[in-house]
Structure 1
C-alpha cells in the first residue's frame, strides 16, 4: 500500500511549511518564511529563504537562528527587515522580546535596528524612503521608551503580573491584554550603519551607590523610534505609509461605549499631527493601502452588523487627504481579503473568497467591471505586484496542495517558483460536490476520497464543519487537515453551509441570527447527497468541527442520531453564558436578538443527544472560553452517566493550549485521540488510548 506523509502523524508534523511571502521593491526576489520542526519536536522554528521571481536559480537560506525569524519586509533600498528574538551581542542580556533586524541587500550579517524593552510586533516600510513605522507596545504610564524599560524591569524584578483595566476588552484570542498598550512609532533609517561598540568600564565606587531606578539611555548606535500614537487608540486594523514616508494612514480604534470602531487617521510622521479622514458611528474603516504615486488611498468600509442582516464589506477609494471618496465595485457581492494597487495605479489587485476558492481579481479605479484573473481551484494569499513586470507574486493553496509561491501572469496562468519546500504527496482525490437546499439555494463543498473507495469498497464518511462562521473551506490548513483522515480510509466532506463566505451576502443572510436553522439543514442536505454516492458507506458516518464548527457539532448532536460519533472542539454550548465570557462580548450580543440567542443555543437539547461525543478544549482559549466545554461535560454527565460513573462520551482537555492546539506533541495527541474515538464507534475497535496521555 502506498504511503504518504499523512499516513504517519510524526511524518506529517515534520513537514516543512511556507507561511508568508514578501516581494522585493524591484519585483525580482521573494522572501519566504519557512517553518520547520525543531530538534526536540516541541515547536516550529522559522527562517527566511530568498527565491528568484523569474523562475531561474535556486532557493537561498538567508537566516539561521534558534529563535527564528518572522515578519519579513523590504526597505526601499532592498534591505530585508524581520522580527526576531535572536541574541543581540551588544545588548546587556539575552533578548526576551523580539526586535527588528535588518539584513543588508549588499550582503553581510543581519544587525539589530531596535532594542526596545517591550519588543517589536510588526513593521510597515515606505516604498520610496528610509522611513518605517513600528508596532511596539508601551506601558501606560511610560512617557518615553527609557521609562518603559525601567517600569518593565521593576515589574520583572518583583514578579508583578497584575493588570489594571479601565476599558473593555481585557483578553484577545489567547492572551491577556495589558499591562502594555499598543503604540506606533516612526523610525528613520537614513544614515543607519554598523558601528563598533566601545565598552566603558564602570567606576569601582559607583557599583554600590547606583540608583536602581535610573533610566538607561536608549543606545545612540541605533536609530531612535519616535512615538506617534500610544494606548488603546493605537490598536490598528491596518497601516500604510506614503511612498515618501511623510504620512502614515492608519485604521485606529476609537471607543464606542464598550465597543470599538476603526477610523482612518492620517499622521504626519515628522510632527505627529493627526487628521481624521473617515469616521462614522457603527462603521469600520479598515485595511488602508496607498497608491505608488502617493495620491490615492483605498480601504474597506463595513457597517457593524445587527440581528436584522449581515453588513457588506465595501471597497472605497479617495484622495490621500480623504477628498473625493467613492465606492468602487459597487454591486460586486464579494468580501475583499487583501488589497494592493496595480503597478500603474489604475486598478486594485484584490483577493476574495468565491465558490470554495480564493481567486485574484482586478478592480478598475474608473468604475469598470471587476475582472477575475485566476480561475483555478486555488486560494491566493500574500499577493503583491512585481514593479518590473507587472506580474503578480503570491502564495496559493487548496486541499490537495499546501501553500507555495507562484508567479501569476495577467491571463491567470500561474507558474510555481523554485522552492525550499517540496510539495508532499497526498493520499486521496478531491471532488467538487453540491446539493439543493429546501429554499432552492445551492450548497456546495469539497469531497476528499481515499484510494480504492468504490461501490465494492465504500469508505466511512466524516462530515467536517468549518469554524468562523464567516469562513469557507477554500485553503489548505496545517492545523485542520482532512488528508490525515483520508489516509486512514475516510471520505471527508468539507461543506460551506449558510453563513459561509464566497457565495454572496444573501447566502450569509440565510443563517443570520439563526445558526441552528439553514446552516444545519444545509449540512444535512449536502450530507444526504454525498452519502448516497456508491463509494460512501452511509452506515458508518461521523461529524466533527471546531469553534463555530464545534457549535454546529453540538447542534447536530441534539437534533439527529444519524452519526455514530461526533467530535466537538472549542465549541459554543450555552450562548447566554458564552456571550458574556468571550473576549468580545459586544459583537456576539450585537448580531443576535435575545430570542435568537435562546433559540439557537445547543445546550437546550442536551437530553436529546444519542451520539457519543468527544469534547476537546484548551484552557487558554479566550474566544470560546473553557467554561463552554466544562458546562457541556457537566451536563453530559448529569444526563448520561451510569450508576458506576461511566459514560460513552470523552473529554480531552489541554491546560496550556488555546483555540487551535498548536504545540506539535499536543497536535499529535489531538489526532490520535480523534482517530481512536472514531475507530471505536465507527468500526467497533477497542479504544486505543494515546501513549502520551498516560
Structure 2
C-alpha cells in the first residue's frame, strides 16, 4: 500500500501546477536511512520511515536495492515495521521487528530471539567457525539502586535519589540499566530467551551503549569470536554527571575478562570499528574530560600489541569505516558542509594522510563500503537524505528516489552563500536562503536563524523542524550565520564560544543580519530572530541587545536564566565547560554576571513566542516559563506553546504540525500583517 500511495502522490504532484514546500507536505516525505551494504558491494539495505498523521506515529520499511541502481524490493513482505537490518553474508540478512531479532536466509525467515520486554538494539555477525554471533542490548536491574519498601502505602508514587544524575535528556533514571549480551549459535537457532545470552557487563551499574543516544555503532565483535569491543562510561553519581570520560573496553570471550584499552584518555572514546584483517581498531577520541564538543581524533589500536596511535587530529570527524587494511573513509565538517575523506595509513612510518573525496554544498553521512563500492546518504537544504553511490573521483550517483517525485513538483528556494565581515575583522560564512520565485525588485521579511549546539555547524542539513525550505517557501528570507562556536572553520573559531556565549557570537549574529538588511530586497522594518536550544538562548539574549532591529522573536527550548539553568540541567560537564563553572565560583564567571538573558529583560521590546517541551531536562521547561512571564509582565505581546509529551525536540507528527502552525501564525502576525 505504501508503494501505491506514493506512486499516486507522485502522479498527483507532477500533473498539478508546481507548488512550494509546506509543513503538511514535509510530513509526506519518506525519511531515508542507509542500513547496510552487502559484503560483495552489489546490494544495499535502506530504510524509509513514513508517518501517519491520523495515527500520530511513523513506521519504517526496509528495502533492498542493487547498488548499480534499479528497482528496490521490500526486505520483508507484509510491510512490517522494522527498526534496523543488516547483512551477515551477501545472501543472508538480519532485521529487528517488534523488539526481536530475525534471520532471513533466501526466502526463509527465522525468529532468533524471544526476549521478554524486547531488545533495545542489536546485530548479527557471521563468525569464522560458521556460527552466528548474536549481540543484543537489553535492560537489567541496576544492582546498586534500591527504593525503600513502604508496603502498607500501596498508592504512593515517588522518586528518591541520593546522587546525580537523577534524570537525563527526557527520562528519569530508575532501577534499570542497559547491557550488551551475546550468544554464539548455529544458523538454525530459534527464539532464544535472554537466559541463553551472556551479559558482558554482568553485575555492573553502567549503561552500554551510552544513553540516551548510543546504539549498535558502539559495540563490535571480531570475526574470530575472540573479542567484543564496546563503549561505556564506567562512572556513577556526581562523577558521571561532570565527566565525559567514556572508554573502549575489550571483552575476551574465553576468559570473561574485560580490559580498558583507552584508560589514559580523558574525554569521550567512541565507536570502535575493526579492520578487515582483524588487526586494528579505529575509534574516535576526545582529548579533554568534560568538553563534549572537543575535536574527535582518529585513533588506531593494535589488538596484538595493545599499542595506540594518533592518526588524525584537528578535523571534526563523524563516520569512520575501513575501506581496506591501509585506508579508512571518514566524514568530516568542512566550511558549513559535511564531506567524505580518505585516510591513508602507513603504520611502519607512522604516517597518516587525509585526502578529500567529495566536495560541493552537501552533507554526507552513514558511510558504508564493501566490494569496491562506497555508499552514503546525502542531503542539502533543498533535499532530504537519499542514498548515493560515490566513485573514486568523488562523483555521486543517486540510487534511491524516495522523494524525487515531490521535489520535482515543487518550486524551491535559492540557497546562496556569502562571507560577512565580523566586528573583530574576521570573515564569517552566512547562508542566505531566498524564497521561491524571488524578485529582487520586491521587499521581503527577513528572519535571523540562530543555531543550537552551541558547537554545531549551520551546514547543508535538512531539518524536519527548522526547515529552511519550508520557512523560505512561506515568503521569508532566512539568514543563517556560522557564528563563532561552530566546527568546520578551524579549532580557534569553534572553541571561541566557550565562556563567551553572550559576547562575540551575539555580535556575529548582528553583523550577519545588518549585512543582509542593507540589501534593497530586505525589509528592515519586518525582521525577526528564531532559534532553539542555544539558538533559543540567543533569541532571549538578542531580545535585550538588538536595539529595535527585530519585530518578532521565537525561542524554542531556550536558556533564559543561567543560574537557575545550571541548578536544574543534567549533563553538568557541558555546563561546567561552556559556562566556565558554577555560579558560586569565585570569581563568578561572566556567564552569570554578563551573559544571562534575564539580566536584560528591562530592554525587551519585541513580541515573543516561547515554545518548550515539558520533558526537556537538558533545558528544563522553567526556562521558557520564566521568559514568557517576564515578557508578559513587561507588557509585551507574548505567547507560550507547551508540549507536555515532548522533550528538547518535537517528534510526534501532530505536535510538529501544531509547532509549525503556531510558528508561522506568530511570525505572520508581526512580520506580514
TM-score between both structures, scaled by the size of structure 1: 0.84
Describe the superposition over 1:146-184 as per-residue Cα deviations: whole angstroms up to 9, x where unpaired. Answer: xxxxx9xxx9xx999766656532222222233210111
Matching residue of 1:417? 399
Any conservation in 1 of the 2:419–2:428 contact (CA below 8 Å)? yes
Any conservation in 1 of the 2:386–2:402 contact (CA below 8 Å)? no
TM-superposed CA distance for 1:341, in Å, is: 1.1
Any conservation in 2 of the 1:497–1:522 contact (CA below 8 Å)? yes
What is the alpha-carbon distance in structure 1 between the residues aligned to residue 399 and residue 270 of structure 2?
31
Matching residue of 1:33? 47
Cα RMSD (Å) of the superposition?
A: 2.7
Matching residue of 2:656? 667
What is the alpha-carbon distance in structure 1 between the residues aligned to residue 619 and residue 488 of structure 2?
25
Q: Would you say 1:73 and 2:86 are equivalent positions?
A: yes
Distance change >3 Å, CA 453–CA 419, structure 1 → 2? closer
Matching residue of 1:601? 596
Q: Which runs of 5+ in 2 are unaligned?
A: 1-15, 211-217, 581-587
What is the alpha-carbon distance in structure 2 between the residues aligned to residue 73 and residue 430 of structure 1?
36
Describe the superposition over 1:314-334 as per-residue Cα deviations: whole angstroms up to 9, x where unpaired. Answer: 11112025633111124xx32
Matching residue of 1:548? 534
Any conservation in 2 of the 1:136–1:185 contact (CA below 8 Å)? yes
What is the alpha-carbon distance in structure 1 between the residues aligned to residue 447 and residue 64 of structure 2?
40
What is the alpha-carbon distance in structure 2 between the residues aligned to residue 581 and residue 415 of structure 1?
48
Q: Compare 605-614 and 60-69 and name the one that shifted more.
A: 60-69
Describe the superposition over 1:399-434 as per-residue Cα deviations: whole angstroms up to 9, x where unpaired. Answer: 011100000011100111143443632521111122
Describe the superposition over 1:68-95 as per-residue Cα deviations: whole angstroms up to 9, x where unpaired. Answer: 211222224643323332xxxxxxxxxx
4+ long deviations beyond 4 Å: 64-67, 158-167, 219-223
TM-superposed CA distance for 1:363, in Å, is: 1.3
What is the alpha-carbon distance in structure 2 between the residues aligned to residue 322 and residue 624 of structure 1?
45
Any conservation in 1 of the 2:435–2:475 contact (CA below 8 Å)? yes
Q: Would you say 1:656 and 2:622 are equivalent positions?
A: no
User: Among 602, 606, 614, which residue is 2:609 paired with?
Assistant: 614
What is the alpha-carbon distance in structure 2 between the residues aligned to residue 39 and residue 488 of structure 1?
22
Alignment of 1:146-165 (within 5 A): 165=161
Any conservation in 2 of the 1:352–1:358 contact (CA below 8 Å)? yes
Matching residue of 2:233? 253
Q: Compare 276-285 and 551-560 and name the one that shifted more.
A: 276-285
3-state SS in 2 of match to 1:6: coil
Q: Would you say 1:186 and 2:150 are equivalent positions?
A: no
Describe the superposition over 1:263-308 as per-residue Cα deviations: whole angstroms up to 9, x where unpaired. Answer: 221001344211121113643222211101110011122133669x
Describe the superposition over 1:222-262 as per-residue Cα deviations: whole angstroms up to 9, x where unpaired. Answer: 99221111444343352222122321111211227243421
User: Among 298, 308, 312, which residue is 1:325 paired with?
Assistant: 308
Matching residue of 1:581? 568
Alignment of 1:95-134 (within 5 A): 98-102=99-103, 104-109=104-109, 111-126=110-125, 128-129=127-128, 130-134=132-136
Any conservation in 1 of the 2:449–2:529 contact (CA below 8 Å)? yes
Describe the superposition over 1:23-65 as per-residue Cα deviations: whole angstroms up to 9, x where unpaired. Answer: 222222111111112272411111111111112x301122366
What is the alpha-carbon distance in structure 1 between the residues aligned to residue 35 and residue 19 of structure 2?
27
User: Among 438, 442, 446, which residue is 1:453 paired with?
Assistant: 438
Describe the superposition over 1:504-537 as per-residue Cα deviations: whole angstroms up to 9, x where unpaired. Answer: 1110122221011111111111222222223322
Q: How many residue pairs get matched?
A: 620
Any conservation in 2 of the 1:59–1:419 contact (CA below 8 Å)? no
Distance change >3 Å, CA 223–CA 23, structure 1 → 2? farther
Distance change >3 Å, CA 187–CA 382, structure 1 → 2? same
User: Among 194, 206, 227, which residue is 1:233 paired with?
Assistant: 206
Q: Which runs of 5+ in 1 are unaligned?
A: 86-97, 143-150, 195-218, 642-646, 685-694
Any conservation in 1 of the 2:61–2:80 contact (CA below 8 Å)? no
Any conservation in 1 of the 2:333–2:487 contact (CA below 8 Å)? yes
Describe the superposition over 1:617-664 as per-residue Cα deviations: whole angstroms up to 9, x where unpaired. Answer: 0101111111111121222233x13xxxxx411111111111111111
Distance change >3 Å, CA 568–CA 596, structure 1 → 2? same
